[in-house]
Structure 1
Amino acid sequence: MDSAKWFRIFICYFLWRYCRLIVNLWAFWTFKPIPIPENPTLRPSDVTVILPTLDGEGQELERTIASIMENEPKELILVTIDENMYKAERTMNKMPASNYKRIRCMSVKQANKRRQMARAIPEVTTEIIVFADDDVTWPIRTLQWMLAPFEDKKYGGVVTCQRLRRAEAPTFSERIYGFLGALYLERRNFDCAATTHMDGGVPCLSGRTCAYRTSILQDVKFTNDFTNEKWWFGQYQLNADDDNFLTRWMVSHQHETYMQYHPECEVLTTLENNPKFLKQCLRWARSNWRSNVTSMFTERDIWCQQPWSTYAVHITTLMPPAIVGDGLLWLFLFWAVQDWPVDQARTSFWAFFAWMTFSKSIKLVTHFVRYPIDILLWPVSVLFGWFHGLIKMYALMTLSVTTWGSRANADASDSGRMIRQKRAQFRDIADEKMHEKLLPNDEMRPYDYDQKHFQPPSA
């Protein structure tokens, strides 16, 4: 193949890889959040916050509750597990009297975020439900900004931007892992703002803090599908990836979503700043594989409703890892300029090197503006980007694994997050009946596929 053909291949692959970056750069820098109206019809008193938690106590949880209650929602529902219910009540008792009256505690038998959420949803009487993780801190006007898009009836879900809470006096290794975690959130903010501006697509309405119309979530069909999602041709019942399911539900039922990218609704969160961060990345990679493949090939709604987001986000799941893609581009360029004069070939190499440096840093500008000293760690992000390809490939080979691996006691009930179905011929029967079989302790009655009936409640 002559050099001209290799150059055409280089250009085509270059455009395929970087067209989304060029367009997203324009979309990100021209994005504007929906402002808070002067006379809103929705106020914080129209919001109930559902807060699933495992431990039910701790300084971090108390800080989260305090920041949420400063936003003045009507009510906060704290949902934990039965064995930690006394801890949750003890935490609630520490709250000021004004907040105590607006907090309720509930529990489920086993740690399962979907079941914890489903336990509280029917109890909500307000127009808007907000889900929050137990390690976030809200700015004082978060709810006002989240409610602004809901003034338009077309919006069914709204998510906030996020930023990492930096550790105090970290060690060198903690600083490295913290830096990588902060960049993960910066890239997420960039991608979500850009795709929201382009076609309304949000890759994932992150469960760290997101809002939905209550009428959508209290629908019986939603409850049934949310607590009985089937995955991999119906071979498994999936109880992980709750925020990805909610995101796909919004798309498949034509509810538009929005990301409010603004400092006044930028929630602070925590990520692991030790080797457990790699396990978090692995869990996220598995979740992305499962959800994006489902969106593209099972549900397929995104192809027509969000074509740009499909190209810019979902299809990238199927692309080669960054180290392979970068290597191919360098190889194609090398073959393309073999017949060029030496000075022109050298110029082309330097120009492409400058572009790759730009492309691997431009999404991170907002972080470096806040923390200029972190520019010294930029090469670490490039190396980790290449290493992440290995994580992505390993995640593909272990999609049936749903362990957290990064949180104490979070995997005690791991078997309930990915349940292999015994007999496909009874799947539809089980689906039809399961949503009505929630026990008082919120444990789903197991279906006996041999006897073809639901087993009685356990004592």
Structure 2
Amino acid sequence: MDSSSWLQLFVLLFVYRYLRLVVNLFLFWTFKPIPIPEHPTLYPKDVTVILPTLDGEGAELQRTIQSILRNEPKELILVTIDDNLHKAKDLISKMPAADHGRLRCMSVKQANKRRQMARAVPEVTTPIIVFADDDVDWPRRTLQWLLAPFEQPQYGGVVTCQRLRRAENPSCSQRLWNFLGALYLERRNFDCAAMTRVDGGMPCISGRTVAYRTEILKDPAFTSGFTDERWWFDQYQLNADDDNFITRWLLTHGWQNYMQYHPECEVQTTLEDNSNFLKQCLRWARSNWRSNITSLFSERYVWKQQPWSTYAVQLTTLSPPALVGDAALWWFLVYGTWEWSSGDKWNAYYLLAAWMTASKFVKLVPHFIRFPVDIFLWPASVLFGWCHGIIKWHAMLTLNETTWGSRAGADASDSERMVKQNQKYQGQQHYSDEKAFFEKVPLTHDFTNTQAVAA
């Protein structure tokens, strides 16, 4: 090819890679959350919080429960596994007596977030359900901000922005891993706020803290799909990726999503502060591959209803890793400017280097404003971004795996998250054997005695 052809390839790749960044920067910096109305029709008492947990105990879980109760929901339902139900009851019994009437414990046989969520939903009597992880810390007005978008009937799901809860007195290695985790959440906030601004096409409504209309989750069709999702030409029953399923369900059933990006709705959470963070990234990457493949090629609603988000978010899964893309840009530019004068070539090289540097920094500005000292760790984020391509493509080659790998005990029931279907039963066995388990009599703790009683 001649130099002009190489230059055309450079321009095409440059525009494809960076148009989304330029537009999303405008969308992000002009984003405004939906304010709390002066006369709302929904209040915290209209909310039930469902909190799936594995251990059912611990100082972190207690801290999470306390921060949620400060928001004054009607009820908080703690769902753990049968083996740890007694631990959850013991934890709740130690909470202030005034809170006992707002707390319930339930359990499922095996650790699985979908099953735990489905176990509690039928017990809810409020118009709004909030799901929360067991390691989050809520500001005092989180529920008020979450409820504000629901004043508009088109919204079916509302999610919070998220920040990493920084460790106290971290070691050097912990500081590095925490920094990478904080930037992961920062980029997520950026993308979700920008997509909310244009067409609502968030990559995934994170379950760390998210609110839904109860009518959506109690729909029998939703329950059927949620507890019996099939994946990859019906070869597998998928019991992982709960957040992705609900995100797609809202889209395919005419509901819109909203992200409340505001300091008073900024949930703090934890991520791994060691090499297990890489295992978390691998799990997230597998979920993204599975969900985005389904959205783009199976359901296909995103192409028409969320065209910008499809380009800016969904298609990035299929795009080459950052290192490959950066290398390709340099390759095309070098050959495209081969016949230029030496001065013009080097000016082009300097401009591309400056642009690439700025593009890898600009999304992170809010983080560095809050923590200027972290600027010295920024090169590590660039290196990690290049290396993340290895994680991304390893995830693509192992989509039939659903392991957590980063939490003790979380993989004890991993084989139940992706179940290979017997060919002769495909299309016939609509419900798994676990379906019956969801219908058992729910348990709640009666604090007047030590027995579990029927609700």
Structure 2 length as normaliser, TM-score?
A: 0.95
Quick one: percent identity of the two aligned structures?
66
Task: Decide whether the 8 Å contact of 1:223 with 1:435 is kept in 2.
Answer: no
Distance 1:126 1:349 in 2: 59
Q: Secondary structure at the match of 1:437?
A: helix
Task: Decide whether the 8 Å contact of 1:108 with 1:442 is kept in 2.
Answer: no
Distance 1:29 1:201 in 2: 17
Distance 1:56 1:436 in 2: 23
CA distance change for structure 1 residues 279 and 140 in 2, over 3 Å: closer, same or farther? same
What's the CA shift string for 1:123-175, capped at 9, x where partnerless? 00000000000000000000000000000111000000000000111111111
Partner of 1:397: 397
Q: Secondary structure at the match of 1:67?
A: helix
Q: Secondary structure at the match of 1:267?
A: strand
Distance 2:98 2:361 in 1: 46
Q: Secondary structure at the match of 1:131?
A: strand
Q: Secondary structure at the match of 1:202?
A: coil
Q: Secondary structure at the match of 2:436?
A: coil
Distance 1:159 1:432 in 2: 30
Distance 1:56 1:302 in 2: 38
Partner of 2:14: 14
Distance 1:439 1:358 in 2: 51
Aligned amino acid, residue 133 of structure 1: D
RMSD across aligned positions (CA): 1.3
Pairwise CA distance, 1:438: 3.7
CA distance change for structure 1 residues 214 and 440 in 2, over 3 Å: closer, same or farther? closer
1:321 paired to 2:318: no
1:437 paired to 2:421: no
What's the CA shift string for 1:285-328, capped at 9, x where partnerless? 00000001011001111111100000000001000111000000
Unaligned runs of 5+ in 2: 443-455
Distance 1:106 1:67 in 2: 20
Distance 1:358 1:89 in 2: 51
Pairwise CA distance, 1:97: 1.5
Distance 1:129 1:363 in 2: 32
Partner of 2:427: 428
Pairwise CA distance, 1:441: 5.1
Distance 1:375 1:435 in 2: 49
Task: Decide whether the 8 Å contact of 1:162 with 1:269 is kept in 2.
Answer: yes
Pairwise CA distance, 1:95: 1.0
Pairwise CA distance, 1:203: 1.2
CA distance change for structure 1 residues 441 and 408 in 2, over 3 Å: closer, same or farther? farther
Partner of 1:356: 356
What's the CA shift string for 1:202-257, capped at 9, x where partnerless? 11110100000000000111111101000111000000000000100000101111
Instruction: Report which stretch shifted further, 3-12 or 124-133.
Output: 3-12
Task: Decide whether the 8 Å contact of 2:337 with 2:345 is kept in 1.
Answer: yes
Partner of 1:211: 211
Pairwise CA distance, 1:427: 2.7
Pairwise CA distance, 1:426: 2.8
Partner of 1:296: 296
What's the CA shift string for 1:338-376, capped at 9, x where partnerless? 111111111110000000000000000000000000000
Unaligned runs of 5+ in 1: 444-459
Aligned amino acid, residue 226 of structure 1: F
Distance 1:318 1:413 in 2: 30
Q: Secondary structure at the match of 2:378?
A: helix
Distance 1:442 1:338 in 2: 74
Distance 2:365 2:438 in 1: 50
Aligned amino acid, residue 228 of structure 1: D
1:387 paired to 2:416: no
Q: Secondary structure at the match of 2:383?
A: helix
Pairwise CA distance, 1:51: 0.1
Task: Decide whether the 8 Å contact of 1:115 with 1:442 is kept in 2.
Answer: no
Deviating 4+ runs (over 6 angstroms)? 432-436
1:270 paired to 2:263: no
CA distance change for structure 1 residues 254 and 273 in 2, over 3 Å: closer, same or farther? same
Partner of 1:38: 38
Partner of 1:337: 337
What's the CA shift string for 1:87-118, capped at 9, x where partnerless? 00011011111211100000001101000000
Aligned amino acid, residue 367 of structure 2: H
Aligned amino acid, residue 427 of structure 2: D
Pairwise CA distance, 1:53: 0.2
Aligned amino acid, residue 398 of structure 2: T
Distance 1:136 1:195 in 2: 24
Partner of 1:309: 309
Structure 1 length as normaliser, TM-score?
A: 0.95
Aligned length: 442
Q: Secondary structure at the match of 1:54?
A: coil
